Chains A and B, each alone.
Chain A
Amino acid sequence: MKSKSLVSIEQCTKEDILRILDNARKFEENPNRKLLEGKVAATLFFEPSTRTRLSFETAVNRLGGRVIGFQDASTTSSSKGETLKDTILMVSNYVDLIIMRHYLEGAARYASEVTNIPIINAGDGANQHPSQTMLDLYSIRKTQGKLEDLTITMVGDLKYGRTVHSLIVGMSHFNPTFHFVAPDELKMPDEQKNFCDQHGIKYYEHSDFTEDIINQSDILYMTRVQRERFTDLEEYERVKNVYILKNSMLEGSRDNLRILHPLPRVNEIAYDVDDNPKAYYIQQARNGLFARQAIICEVLGIEI
């Protein structure tokens, strides 16, 4: 990687991605490796996210490192008006690595510019969340045996969903074909479609979520359709049940199809899908641990 911080998936080359995924596989084989012995990592969660924080803290612990930090900015000096810069510089005195989540967009990039300590972005507002993308890529590679030439169907909120935007960037090195399935109000933005055009990536847009599309797919990437995203609540009422995946819709699907979801889900995947062996969203979350272990070693320049 160009920088030793991981702020955005866009900074990763194809080789970077493949190296991190290879290392993640080693951690899946054996997650307990004392590679961070004597090192301290800070988890600075200016915005709470229990799921992401536990995953990162487990990653540090299984690597033999120690963790300091906070999980709610209201109890820290930033609520007293301290600048982000000062908080980052203060913590930089103590630790070898900073893992941070912030409600402001661009916070992680700015932090990476003010300190020499590596920063891992664990989410900056609606902007970037590269460890989520890395675990999605890991899950896709693991279930399909490859990343090249796959057909990926993204369903739900494609307008605001940062995970799908980042996944397009992450997959762009591997000749994917995308199907974008979304209600009109939540369609994939032009920026992402232009990105696909510039990179010669095939994509098809649909407003109906049909078995015909599912049956062509290797990966079904479901996302949450949130009520608060709609300006027209009648439109929400009309579409909210259209983008729900039910087990009966999977009957004609490919054997290798796997269903992913960044979690938490609300109702966009019916519970009868959970027992289908093609449901992969729970294991997907578990892969986050291995992907994060690999990312931590990457930014610290630790060979595995």
Chain B
Amino acid sequence: MSMIENNKELQVAAIENGTVIDHIPPHQLFKVAALLELDKMKNNTITIANNLPSNKFGSKGMIKISDKFFDDTEINRIALVAPNVILNVIRNYEVVEKKQVSLPDEIVGLVKCNNPKCITNNEPMQTRFEVVDREAGTLKCHYCERKVKKDDIVIE
């Protein structure tokens, strides 16, 4: 294999079946990866690219996961940090569906409450947040009632 072909392969990394998540804001890329629990996927080929040129946003991140199709509750989590991402469902090298993400009304687990005096940070239990402002991405802890702004969201 020549050097040129090798480079080409690295850039394209097209997947036969799976999901391509596009238009991720570069600074949120690793939060998106954490929200999708990519670190727990052992049998999927995962390609992560960041700071790619983008016509819309200047630069963007992208994640390709082979042989993985997300259900809506799994994927809507990422609306927390990246509301404008596009999800491409790939089958046999073709984009068969493009999906947008939308924030659920409630987020169970995943997000850590920023209040150190919150019961959720002191008891083995799941966190629960209500989405109180969809536009701004503001969450409210179901327990201590403290609000968390989008930029302050910490993933557990």
Q: How far is the CB of A296 from chain B (nearest CB, A)?
A: 24
Q: Which of these, A84, A125, A126, contacts B123 with CB under 8 Å?
A: A84
* CB-based A-B contact count at 8 angstroms: 49
Specify which chain B residues have a CB less than 8 angstroms from the CB of A105 in the assembled complex.
Answer: 115, 117-119, 143-146
B91 within 8 A of A: no
A78 CB → nearest B CB, Å: 10
CA of A104 to CA of B141, assembled, Å? 13
A109 touches B143 (CB 8 A): yes
Q: Is the CB of A110 within 8 A of B119?
A: yes
Does A144 belong to the interface (CB within 8 Å)?
Answer: no
Chain B residues with Cβ below 8 Å from A128 are 145
Q: Is B142 an interface residue when CB atoms closer than 8 A count as contact?
A: yes
In the complex, what's the smallest C-beta–C-beta distance from B103 to chain A, in angstroms?
20
Contacting pair B125 A85 (CB below 8 A) = yes
Interface residue? B19 (CB, 8 A): no
Q: State whether the Cβ of B124 lies closer than 8 Å to any Cβ in chain A.
A: yes
Q: List the A side residues contacting B142 at CB < 8 Å.
A: 106, 109
A110 touches which one: B143, B146, B147 (CB < 8 A)? B143
Q: How far is the CA of A104 from the CA of B120 in the complex (A)?
A: 9
B2 within 8 A of A: no
In the complex, B122 has a CB within 8 A of chain A: yes
Given contacts A110-B143, A127-B144, A127-B145, A104 and B122 within 8 Å (CB-CB): yes
Q: In the docked arrangement, what's the CA distance between A83 and B119, Å? A: 11
- Among A107, A126, A191, point to the contact of B119 (Cβ < 8 A): A107
Interface string of A187-201 (1 = CB under 8 A from B): 000010000000000
A94 close to B (CB within 8 Å): no
**Does A204 belong to the interface (CB within 8 Å)?**
no
Closest to A104 in B: B119
A105-B146, A127-B144 in contact; A110/B125 too (CB < 8 A)? yes
Give the CA-CA distance A127 to B122 in the complex, in Å.
16
Which of the listed residues A8, A104, A126 has the most CB atoms from chain B within 10 Å of its own CB?
A: A104
List residues of B whose CB falls within 8 A of some A CB: 115, 117-120, 122-125, 141-147
* 13 sampled A-B residue pairs with Cβ under 8 A: A84-B119, A85-B125, A104-B119, A104-B123, A105-B117, A106-B118, A106-B119, A106-B120, A106-B141, A110-B123, A125-B144, A128-B145, A191-B147
